[in-house]
Structure 1
């Protein structure tokens, strides 16, 4: 907690020292300029955010309280829920302000801080999904070695590595953006996105674009390759299972994860793995809505509604409360 408290202060000091931009605050354009749909969209996204908070927080509490869910798979799922909760909280509240006010202004330090933490959790989610795929690979393809391979220490190191990669990527991108001269103050987006900030530059952004391409390739392609290779082995192993029930259970567990992967990586790759000049603002906004707002809401629903262990644990918790 002390580290998280110091990070905004450190960023603020760096911005004071390095920022030569004449801009001190930005105006966020929001999701749309159509006044007739502002209020309906406010209630829609407010509802989505409430479901996101309740779903992810509920998943974390449920896994913590249910002893039968204290396994590596649910340890990673709990971490994913925490990432989704933070990811959504960084973006959605500020976006909701635009729907009920004429202007949505964000200061330079607030914008950079929002960008920094958004990048941490976006990158962390990329690698957490890859870790979860590896966990399923070990569980299905090497079940006898599962407890040894996915020990408590290994799981802790994997989760720690996920957050470390998030911090490294976010620090690299934020350091590069702090060296760019920003001379416009209107962000054509509903949050301080990396590509949207670069469009405000009146200096060269070549280094930034190279850094974005390199880190995006690493943070999207490497986990994607890990996931694809894991699931090729998983599917081959499942097809060798003779029992229809065993095969159905294995497919059910993997299909939930694959649904989450397809939603997140599809929308993120669409934005960050093509030149920024080929992206229209509307395309960026639509794709961003999927992985910043809808994916964090859908993940706990996907894993809870299609998971028998979670349903059983939830039923036990509810029955325990009734007895009390």
Structure 2
């Protein structure tokens, strides 16, 4: 098969969710609605936390960063898909594809790290309540965010630099709605063994570190909560973790579901539809999970919306 060096590439083609032109308006409307809900929901969380002094705590500082990350992930993928549908043009430049893939890896990795950091925050709050504000001081919180960003950025740059060494075939159709790394690499005519090994090793290392941190935190949390004598105290302790556990279950559950789907099916279309479940749905639902399950967040949102309604 004829191949070409990446310097000679002009564009790739994102095939999206379906090639049925009759369904394109429906998909456009659906994803536009999802994007608007995602942006507004996460933006409201950020504004509620920043406007309410009672929420100026480490827990809500990390929640604000999670909401910002969700906005970035959705903005990296959905607007380009909507623009392609609107223009009836599936193309994306080589540079644009590589850039989009890089940002997806950065923000996806950052969300993965943030969930582990938030689990650590809950561990300190419940297991070491008297030392909580000492341990989770502002400097420490900022360092945890910067460390998470550094890890995710290095992870993204590593994959991006490894892709730059590849040459690609002339058939440059990506059966996805964004430039997903594994689909991107499948188009190469070079030996991509090292790239594929790197994908699995990096995913295992990052996933293992994050999930181990979350499991470690919650094992100690459960152990501490069970030692609380009153049922009311147990309920209050568990309620502070409920939203985070729901978000963790959604994020890792959908990601694991995509992995299982990819392993049991050879259909690219089925894989891309399953990928929506981890790249779009969690980012939209996270604000609802935290606003519905957290009394402080609901109260802050109520005050914010009342203030906005008064100004209008």
- What TM-score, normalized by structure 1, do the two folds share? 0.88
Q: Equivalents in 2 of 1:109, 1:277: separation in Å? A: 32
1:91 equivalent among 72, 77, 97 = 77
SS in 2 for 1:182: strand
Are 1:201 and 2:188 matched, yes or no?
yes
1:40 equivalent among 10, 23, 26 = 26
RMSD: 2.2
Q: Equivalents in 2 of 1:98, 1:206: separation in Å? A: 32
Q: Which runs of 5+ in 1 are unaligned?
A: 1-18
Q: Equivalents in 2 of 1:198, 1:30: separation in Å? A: 17
Q: Equivalents in 1 of 2:49, 2:253: separation in Å? A: 28
1:116 equivalent among 93, 98, 102 = 102
2:237 equivalent among 239, 250, 264 = 250
Are 1:239 and 2:226 matched, yes or no?
yes
Q: 1:278 to 1:39 in 2, by over 3 A?
A: closer
Q: Equivalents in 2 of 1:322, 1:122: separation in Å? A: 34
For 1:300, the equivalent position in structure 2 comes to 287
How far 1:276 moved relative to its partner? Answer: 7.6
Is 1:213–1:272's contact at 8 Å kept on the other side of the alignment?
Answer: no
- What TM-score, normalized by structure 2, do the two folds share? 0.91
1:54-86 deviation line (CA, Å, top 9, x unaligned)? 011111111111100000000000000110000
Deviates more, 1:125-134 or 1:232-241: 232-241
Is 2:155–2:202's contact at 8 Å kept on the other side of the alignment?
Answer: yes
Q: Equivalents in 1 of 2:94, 2:308: separation in Å? A: 47
SS in 2 for 1:106: strand
For 1:172, the equivalent position in structure 2 comes to 158
Q: 1:195 to 1:322 in 2, by over 3 A?
A: closer
Q: Which runs of 5+ in 2 are unaligned?
A: none
Is 1:195–1:276's contact at 8 Å kept on the other side of the alignment?
Answer: no
For 2:147, the equivalent position in structure 1 comes to 161
How far 1:169 moved relative to its partner? Answer: 0.4
